[in-house]
Amino acid sequence: MTFDAIETSRDQGEPVHLFLFTAGDQQYRYTTADHIVTVGTADYLPDQPMESVEIKETNVDDKGKLNFKVIRSHEVASLFLITNPRVISLFIYELHESDTANEVRAIWTGRVVACEWDEEDTATISCESATTVLQRMGLPYKFGGTCQHTLYRGGCRLDLFANSTLYALDAYSGYTITVAALIGLPVNDYNGGLVIVNGVDYRMITGFDNTTGVLTLFRPFEDVDVGTVVRIAKGCNRTSARCIELGNFDNFLGFDTVPTRNPFEGITKAGIYVPPTPKIT
């Protein structure tokens, strides 16, 4: 039977949802089925199951929002532990397991806009439809001197492993960790960098004291102790100069020649003489 025939049949339907998340070069595939679903050469995994969602078509402007409850360690949720990724697209497909032809229909397209962690061991991934994105006014990129890419993600393309090293922690206390081997290294090397535990648990470095080897983290780790081996990756302040230092200027997405003088502050700051306004007596 064809997809349409099964869809309109009285009792032959066995709908399954497929979720394809794309973040830069990385793809994450999941299914609501209790087993691996293969479409072409792509496998959709049930290992980190997502809820089936009810997609509505109404005249009310709710921005095409979809919210998913996932486990706390979900791969897509983990992308938000570092910072908000630039773009994570989402395609939702549907197929019927009774369809031997595996005919798939796209039923929703959009992107992930946020992720919130609940008090329990769950997280909520919030998405909005592509229609909403297209109707939004303005450019998708900001006009500024700093790079738009998320470090080590998507269009940045900087090699995480080539710019990171494994270290054992010498001390750990909440928001700070100490690695004596970092003493004497340039401060700019690790400000804005990453500390990674077990390859999946990320924390951004918000400060580095190169006289003591102390790194300040954006958020504490939960299960880390002295002696734990972590991967520490170099940071970037998103300037073109730092991008050149890291050998990654080809992927720099900033506008390095943006003027720094505000034209509305007056032309005297540009060194141009402005004659005084004559007084009327």
Q: 33 with 104: CB under 8 angstroms?
A: no
Residue 77 corresponds to which amino acid?
Answer: A
Q: What is the pLDDT of residue 58?
A: 45
**Whether the predicted model's global pTM rises above the 0.75 cut:** no
Q: What is the pLDDT of residue 2?
A: 54
Q: What is the pLDDT of residue 1?
A: 53
Q: Which residue has the tokens 């951004």?
A: 204
- Give residues with Cβ within 8 angstroms of 131, minimum separation 6: 64
Q: What is the pLDDT of residue 117?
A: 83
Q: What is the pLDDT of residue 163?
A: 93
The structure tokens listed for 127 are 């998405």
The structure tokens listed for 182 are 């970092």
Q: What is the pLDDT of residue 230?
A: 92
Q: What is the pLDDT of residue 202?
A: 85
In the chain, the domains with their CATH numbers are 3-135 (2.30.110), 159-235 (2.40.30.20)
Q: Which of 116, 24, 10 is nearest to 70 (CA)?
A: 116
Per-10-residue mean pLDDT of the chain, 281 residues long, equals 52 75 86 85 78 51 70 83 74 78 80 82 84 62 80 86 93 89 90 87 89 90 86 91 92 82 61 60 57
CA distances from 16 to 33, 34, 97, 183 (A): 6, 10, 7, 54
- Give residues with Cβ within 8 angstroms of 81, minimum separation 6: 201, 202, 203, 219
**227-259 burial string, b = 16+ CB within 10 Å, else e?**
eeebbbbbbbebbbebbeebebeeebebeeeee
Q: What is the pLDDT of residue 180?
A: 93
